[in-house]
């Protein structure tokens, strides 16, 4: 005789598999009494017996939170994963997944179908309206990190990226640089657009020429590949949209026979771990990975546990970490 599955219970009750999973795992605070009753009655009618092995693997009262990132190898996101793992509650398990824009929807659906309790989404969302509708329908709460724009659907944790871009420009301008460049990826996420906007605003306020924008692949190799373009444009100050681009750029400039900071000053963004240990040590704009990790987990845990609050927009400050890749022009 065929074993009754959770899909059978969902069909009998007229709800989703995710709803059945949450209710049977006692995560029922987000559902009406009517829905809970329908699921429990369907379970009893069909004689459904939960898979004991699956329960033991996951833990009856444990919460499973999915963390969706652009990639897992970027040092900034690697550090974020470690901080999240360090500060998560004892009854929380984390599932980290890297996803591109093309497979984003499929990966979200896969996590939901596995019975995920909540999501922290740290990559750009192309269709926020569809995402919100889908997750709301399946009763899966989520919070956003600052790669996405704020549409008011849920909590969002952002770094003040405009301020970060302004700080980078102000630092180079105070050192006497006027011929400036921005190294950026071909496709800018929402947070990167704000970094560029802040940098350009500061240049404009000082009545400087608009900085040269140079597009490349978002990687160390991408930064290395455009070094010759910086030399051709005769710039003296460079703002790289993240530290990996900055590190690659410095390598490329060295190969072109240029010295950092003697010939060009370079500022990065993120303050990844290696920034302070390379030679020369990288001047960069720091984001607080600790705060991002702690606050995002706290907000999603509140939502999972049914502690309602108005949608929050948390904006964190940035900090200039002045090291050895920038210098005063003589």
Residue 323 counted as domain residue: no
- The rounded distance, in Å, linking the Cα atoms of 198 and 267 is 14
In this structure, how many other beta carbons lie within 10 angstroms of the beta carbon of residue 175?
Answer: 17
- Is the same domain home to 208 and 252? yes
- Is the same domain home to 167 and 276? yes
- Is the same domain home to 35 and 73? no
Task: Tell me the β-bridge partners of 119.
Answer: 66, 142
- Is the same domain home to 135 and 251? no
- Is the same domain home to 240 and 145? no
Q: Which residues contact 203 (CB under 8 A, 6 or more apart)?
A: 169, 173, 180, 209, 210, 211
- Is the same domain home to 108 and 179? no
Task: Tell me the β-bridge partners of 142.
Answer: 119
Residue 162 has a pLDDT of 96
Residue 265 counted as domain residue: yes
Q: Which residues contact 266 (CB under 8 A, 6 or more apart)?
A: 238, 240, 246, 249, 250, 253, 260, 282, 283, 325, 326
Strands 319-321 and 283-286, sheet pairing: antiparallel
Q: At 61, list the tokens.
A: 């009262």
- The rounded distance, in Å, linking the Cα atoms of 178 and 50 is 67
Residue 1 has a pLDDT of 40
Domain boundary pick from 56, 74, 97: 56
Residue 61 has a pLDDT of 66
R_g of the chain computed on alpha carbons: 24
Report which DSSP code applies to 273: G
Parent domain of 13 = 6-56
Burial class (CB in 10 A: 0-12, 13-18, 19+), 260: buried
Residue 328 counted as domain residue: no
Report which DSSP code applies to 59: -
- Is the same domain home to 168 and 266? yes
pLDDT in tens, 117-141: 899 999 989 899 999 999 988 889 9
- The rounded distance, in Å, linking the Cα atoms of 177 and 264 is 9
Ranges of residues in the chain whose predicted pLDDT is under 50: 1, 52-53, 56-57, 59
Q: At 129, list the tokens.
A: 């309206």
- Is the same domain home to 52 and 65? no
Residue 183 counted as domain residue: yes
CATH number at residue 28: 1.10.260.40
- Is the same domain home to 14 and 127? no
- The rounded distance, in Å, linking the Cα atoms of 294 and 262 is 39
Give yes or no for a contact between 63 and 118, defined as CB atoms under 8 angstroms apart. yes
Residue 125 counted as domain residue: yes
- Is the same domain home to 165 and 151? no
Residue 213 counted as domain residue: yes
Residue 325 counted as domain residue: no
Give the CB-side neighbour count of residue 260, counting CA atoms within 13 A.
31
Residue 48 counted as domain residue: yes
> Which residue, among 117, 135, 120, has the nearest Cα to 61 in the 3D structure?
117
Residue 103 has a pLDDT of 92
CATH number at residue 129: 3.40.50.2300
- The rounded distance, in Å, linking the Cα atoms of 181 and 179 is 7
Q: Which residues contact 268 (CB under 8 A, 6 or more apart)?
A: 240, 242, 243, 245, 246, 247, 275, 282, 283, 284, 285, 325
- Is the same domain home to 71 and 114? yes
- The rounded distance, in Å, linking the Cα atoms of 129 and 57 is 34
Phi/psi at 91 (5° precision): -100, 20
Domain boundary pick from 56, 72, 97: 56
Q: The whole model's pTM is what? A: 0.81
- Is the same domain home to 197 and 152? no
Q: Structural domain tally of the chain?
A: 3
> Which residue, among 238, 239, 243, has the nearest Cα to 286 in the 3D structure?
243
């Amino acid at each position: 005789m065929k074993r009754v599955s959770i899909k059978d219970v969902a069909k009998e009750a007229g709800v989703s598999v995710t709803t059945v999973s949450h209710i049977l795992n006692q995560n029922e605070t987000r559902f009406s009494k009517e829905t809970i009753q329908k699921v429990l009655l369907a379970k009893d009618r069909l004689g459904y017996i939960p898979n004991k092995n699956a329960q033991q693997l996951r833990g009856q009262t444990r919460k499973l939170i999915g963390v969706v990132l652009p990639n897992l190898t970027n040092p900034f996101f690697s550090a974020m994963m470690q901080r999240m793992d360090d500060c998560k509650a004892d009854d929380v398990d984390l599932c980290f997944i890297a996803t591109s824009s093309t497979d984003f929807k499929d990966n979200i659906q896969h996590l939901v179908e596995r019975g995920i309790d909540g999501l922290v989404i740290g990559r750009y969302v192309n269709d926020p309206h569809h995402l919100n509708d889908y997750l709301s329908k399946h009763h899966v709460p989520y919070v956003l990190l600052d790669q996405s724009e704020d549409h008011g659907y849920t909590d969002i944790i952002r770094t003040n990226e405009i301020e970060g871009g302004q700080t980078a420009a102000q630092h180079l301008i105070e050192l006497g640089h006027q011929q400036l460049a921005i190294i950026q990826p071909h496709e800018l996420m929402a947070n990167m657009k704000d970094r560029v906007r802040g940098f350009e605003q500061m240049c404009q306020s000082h009545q400087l020429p608009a900085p040269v924008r140079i597009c490349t692949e978002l990687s160390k190799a991408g930064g290395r590949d455009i070094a010759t373009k910086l030399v051709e444009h005769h710039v003296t100050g460079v703002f790289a949209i993240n530290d990996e681009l900055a590190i690659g750029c410095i390598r490329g400039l060295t190969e072109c026979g240029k010295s950092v900071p003697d010939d060009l000053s370079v500022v990065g963004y993120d303050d990844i771990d290696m920034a302070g240990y390379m030679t020369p040590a990288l001047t960069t704009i720091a984001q607080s990975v600790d705060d991002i990790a702690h606050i995002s987990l706290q907000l999603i845990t509140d939502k999972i546990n049914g502690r309602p609050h108005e949608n929050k927009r948390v904006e964190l400050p940035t900090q200039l970490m002045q090291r050895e890749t920038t210098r005063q022009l003589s």
